[in-house]
């Protein structure tokens, strides 16, 4: 989902900040859980070979596509996450992780859990080579 509306008061559905956000107390593990749930829920419209429009789970589809490539491809393909697909609370929690290495670990573990959720064992073949990249600014979205 991309936010093409330039109005400063435009908000995506289910994307409103809370008065007192619960994520003020989110640990890195809670952020991993919420990020994985957020990514698992993102749907994307695609058109099949018959011209029929379908909704697919965007990030699970990326897992299926990249799983056979990550262990063997050079350079390793990146797993891309659009910041605009993330709920406000998840973006806010990621923004509060100031250490870049910890943020990288949170993104990495959430994506590994997506691989597991669809039945792909990520740790032996994929885990060490997986590169997760967040596209877009988490600070400027809202």
Q: Is residue 21 part of a domain?
A: no
Q: Is residue 84 part of a domain?
A: yes
User: So what's the pLDDT on residue 51?
Assistant: 94
User: So what's the pLDDT on residue 2?
Assistant: 41
Domain that holds residue 43: 33-135
Q: Is residue 54 part of a domain?
A: yes
User: So what's the pLDDT on residue 121?
Assistant: 87
Q: Is residue 12 part of a domain?
A: no
Q: Is residue 5 part of a domain?
A: no
Q: Is residue 16 part of a domain?
A: no
| CA atoms of 17 and 21, how far apart (whole Å) | 7
**Alpha helix segments (H runs only) across the chain:** 28-41, 58-66, 88-95, 100-117, 122-125
Give SS3 for 43.
strand
User: So what's the pLDDT on residue 124?
Assistant: 78
Q: Is residue 3 part of a domain?
A: no
Tell me the pLDDT tens digit for each residue of 42-53.
999 999 999 999
Work out how many domains the chain is built from and give that number.
1
Q: Is residue 50 part of a domain?
A: yes
User: So what's the pLDDT on residue 138?
Assistant: 75
Tell me the pLDDT tens digit for each residue of 100-128.
999 999 999 999 999 999 999 887 789 99
**Ranges of the chain whose pLDDT falls below 70:** 1-24, 139-142
């Amino acid at each position: 989902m991309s936010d093409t509306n330039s109005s400063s008061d435009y908000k995506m559905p289910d994307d409103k900040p809370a008065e007192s956000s619960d994520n003020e107390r989110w640990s890195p593990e809670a952020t991993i859980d919420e990020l994985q749930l957020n990514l698992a829920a993102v749907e994307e419209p695609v058109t099949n070979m018959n011209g029929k429009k379908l909704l697919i789970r965007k990030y699970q589809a990326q897992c299926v596509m990249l799983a056979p490539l990550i262990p063997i491809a050079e350079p390793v393909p990146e797993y891309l996450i659009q910041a605009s697909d993330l709920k406000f609370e998840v973006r806010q929690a990621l923004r509060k992780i100031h250490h870049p290495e910890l943020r990288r670990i949170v993104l990495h573990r959430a994506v590994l859990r997506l691989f597991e959720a669809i039945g792909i064992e990520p740790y032996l073949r994929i885990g060490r080579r997986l590169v997760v990249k967040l596209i877009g600014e988490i600070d400027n979205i809202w």
